[in-house]
Structure 1
Amino acid sequence: MSTIFDVCKLAGVSTATVSRVMNGTGQVKESTRQKVFSAMEQLGYRPNQLAQSLASNKTHTIGFVVSQFDGAYTGFILKQASICVDKAKKQLIVTDCHNDPEFEYETVRQLENRCDAIVLYSRTLSNEHLRKLYNQMNTPLVLINRTLPEQLFHTVTFAQEEAATMMMNHLIGYGHRNIACITGPLDNPTGKSRMAGYVNTLKKHAIPYRSCLVKNSDYQIEGGYNACKQLIEDKIPFTALFAFNDYMALGALKALNEADIKVPDQVSIAGIDNNLFSAYASPGLTTIELPIEAMTKKAVELAIDLITHEHKSSAHQFKGKLIQRESVKPCRAMNNWFSL
C-alpha cells in the first residue's frame, strides 16, 4: 500500500506540499498540484480520512438537513450542494427529516459532532427550536429559507412575499380580478409570506378578498389537482388561478383540462419556482423563478468559510424573477367558462 511519502518521492515535493494539495489549503502552484495528483493516481494513493480528521481536529464533512425530500426540487438543491462541497474537497452528509420538527431538531444536534458545519433548509422548525440551537451548538449553522427577528445565524432567504406580490401584480395588470389561489400549508413562514403577498396585493388594488377562492394544499401535484377540482365544483367564477408553487399549478392544469376548461383561453394559471417541468407544460407555465442554485451555493460556501473564519451573523436575501410563458392571457381576450 502506498503512503504519503511515496507520493512525495514520486512528485519530488515535501510532505507539507502534498498535505496542502490534499486539503486545498495554502499557496501551491498549479504545476505542482498536477504533479501531486498525477503521483497519487499512479500509485493508487487515497488519503486516510480518519487520520486526517484526528490530526486536524476536523471531519472535513458538511451536514445538509432538509425538512423533506421533495422530488426534483430537493434533488436540484442537493446536486448544487454536492458540487460546492466537492470543490472544497469535503464530504456531504444529507438527512431527510420527514417534515417532523422534533426529529429535525434532534438531527441537527446529532450532526454537530460529525460535521464541521451544517446547512439547514427548514420549513418546519419553530423560532423557539432555532433559538435553542443557537444557545446549544458550537458548530457553524447556516439557515436557508428561515429568518428570526434577531439575526442569530447566517441566513440565505428568498423574498417570498415579494414573489407572490410580483405574480399578483402581473395577473391584475392583465385585467384579472377574480383570482383563485391554491396555497401551501399556512403554518410556516413560506406559506404565511406568500399568502400575505396574495391578500395585500388584492387590497392594494381595491379587490375584495374572498375566502371561497382560496384552497389550502400541500405543494404536491396531486394536492394542486384536488384543490382545483374543488374550485371547479364550487362553481365560483375565476379567470385566473395562482398556485403557491409550480407542482400545484401543474396539478391544477390537469384538473382544468379534464373539466374542458381551456388554459389560457378561459383561465390563466401561474405558479412560483420555475421548476424543471414548467417550460415543458402545455401551455408553458408563467411563474416566478426562485434562484435556488445561487441560494444553495451561497449557503454552502458560507458554511465552508465559517469552519475556519468567524464572521458576524449576516443575512443574504435573493429575489425572484417573472418568467412569462403561455399560460397567462389578458382577461379581456378570454372566453369565460362560466356566466358572471
Structure 2
Amino acid sequence: NGRQLILVDGKNSAAEEREAIDFLHDLRCDGIIIYPRFLTVDEMDVIIDKYKKPVMVVNRKLRKHQSHCIYCDHKGSSFQATRTLIERGHRDIAFITGSMDSPTATERLSGYKDALIFAGIGVKEDLIVAGKWSPASGAAAVDTLLARGVTFSALIASNDDMAIGAMKQLSHAAVAVPAKVSVIGFDNIPTAPFLIPALSSVKDPVSDMVSEVINQIISMLDGGYLSQQNQFTSDVILRESVIDGPYYPTALSDRDPALK
C-alpha cells in the first residue's frame, strides 16, 4: 500500500514508552501502533486524545477508546490456566508474578486468585512470589518458596522465561518436574516444546492479533469502519510439565459444582 514501517523500542519503563510515542508523533507518522508493557489503560486513552491521529493499541483493553485496541484477556487466560491445574488435582498452586508495574502482570495475578476462590480453595499469600519476567527471577522465586517451607504441587509463572528459571532451580533443589511439581508458563515461546520436560504454556494468538491490528490501522487511515470486537482468547497448551496432582480425581469437589 506504499506505506513504510518505523519501529521504536519503548525499553523498560512507562516514561521510555511515552518518549518513543512522542518520537513517532514528531516524525509525523500517518498512524501509530503501540504495544505497551508499562503504560496503563488510562494513559493510553489520554495519548489517543492528545495526538488526534490513527492510533491502535495492542495488549490493552481500553475504556474510552474501545475500538482502538486489540487485546488478550490476560485475567481470563490466567484463570483458565489455574483452573486447568485444579481440574488435574492440584490445590496448592504457587504463582510467580511479573513486574507489578505491568498491567499484564496484575491481570494474570488477579485471574489466578479468582480461580482459586471460585474453586473454594482460597488464596495463600505465601504461595505468591514477585518476579521480574527473567529466568533468573523465576529461579529466585523458587528459592523464596523453598525457604518459606510452603507446600505446593504446581507452579504458574507469568511468562515462560520465569518458568524455565523455576524449573532449573527446582531441579537443582532435587524437586522433580513434573513428578513433584507441575509447571505452566505464559507466551508459548518456540523453545517450550523442546525443553525437558516440555513446558506447558498459555498461548496468546499473537499472529492473529498482529494481522488484525494492521488491518485496523489501515482501515483508519482509509477512513473505514473499526470493529468493536477486539478481544482475542488464549489457549492452555498442556505438555509434559503438567501431570495429575495429589487430589485427582477428588479435585471435582462439591465446593465447585462446575468442575464435576
State TM-score, norm by structure 1. 0.69
Alignment of 1:214 with 2:166, yes or no, is no
- For the pair shown, the structure with the greater C-alpha radius of gyration is 1
CA distance in 2, matches of 1:89, 1:255: 50
CA distance in 2, matches of 1:100, 1:253: 28
8 Å contact 2:58–2:69 — kept in the other structure? yes
**2:14 aligned residue:** 101
8 Å contact 1:109–1:137 — kept in the other structure? no
Which structure dedicates a bigger proportion of its chain to helix?
1
Query: Partner of 2:110: helix, strand, or coil?
Result: helix
Whichever residue aligns with residue 289 of structure 1, its letter is: K
**2:179 aligned residue:** 265
Query: Partner of 1:91: helix, strand, or coil?
Result: coil
**1:142 aligned residue:** 56
Q: Deviations over 1:240-298 (max 9, x none)?
A: 11111111111100001111111111111111111111111100011111111111111
**2:254 aligned residue:** none
8 Å contact 1:155–1:315 — kept in the other structure? no
CA distance in 2, matches of 1:96, 1:188: 16
Larger CA deviation: 305-314 vs 283-292: 305-314
Alignment of 1:331 with 2:245, yes or no, is yes
8 Å contact 1:144–1:155 — kept in the other structure? yes
CA distance in 1, matches of 2:172, 2:73: 34
**2:252 aligned residue:** none
CA distance in 2, matches of 1:153, 1:126: 17
Query: Partner of 2:6: helix, strand, or coil?
Result: strand
**2:143 aligned residue:** 229
Cα deviation, residue 132, structure 1: 2.7
CA distance in 2, matches of 1:205, 1:104: 38
Alignment of 1:133 with 2:47, yes or no, is yes
Q: Deviations over 1:132-189 (max 9, x none)?
A: 3222213210000112222355110001111111111111111111111101123332
- CA 1:333–1:264: 2 relative to 1, 3 Å: farther
| 1:150-299 pair list within 5 angstroms | 150-151=64-65, 153-299=67-213
CA distance in 1, matches of 2:40, 2:241: 36
Whichever residue aligns with residue 94 of structure 1, its letter is: L
8 Å contact 1:175–1:331 — kept in the other structure? yes
CA distance in 1, matches of 2:192, 2:84: 18
Cα deviation, residue 315, structure 1: 4.4
Query: Partner of 1:293: helix, strand, or coil?
Result: helix
Alignment RMSD: 1.9
8 Å contact 2:9–2:20 — kept in the other structure? no
Counting aligned pairs with the same residue, the percent is 30
8 Å contact 1:263–1:283 — kept in the other structure? yes
Deviating 4+ runs (over 4 angstroms):
none
Q: Which has the higher contact order (CA 8 A, sep 6+)?
A: 2
Query: Partner of 2:109: helix, strand, or coil?
Result: helix
Whichever residue aligns with residue 95 of structure 1, its letter is: V
Whichever residue aligns with residue 105 of structure 1, its letter is: R
State TM-score, norm by structure 2. 0.88
Gaps of 5+ in 2: 249-260
Whichever residue aligns with residue 317 of structure 1, its letter is: Q
Cα deviation, residue 223, structure 1: 1.1
8 Å contact 2:62–2:69 — kept in the other structure? no
CA distance in 1, matches of 2:20, 2:56: 15
CA distance in 1, matches of 2:143, 2:76: 28
8 Å contact 2:99–2:132 — kept in the other structure? yes
**1:84 aligned residue:** none
Gaps of 5+ in 1: 1-87, 335-340
CA distance in 1, matches of 2:48, 2:121: 43
CA distance in 1, matches of 2:205, 2:39: 23
Query: Partner of 1:180: helix, strand, or coil?
Result: strand
8 Å contact 1:134–1:152 — kept in the other structure? no
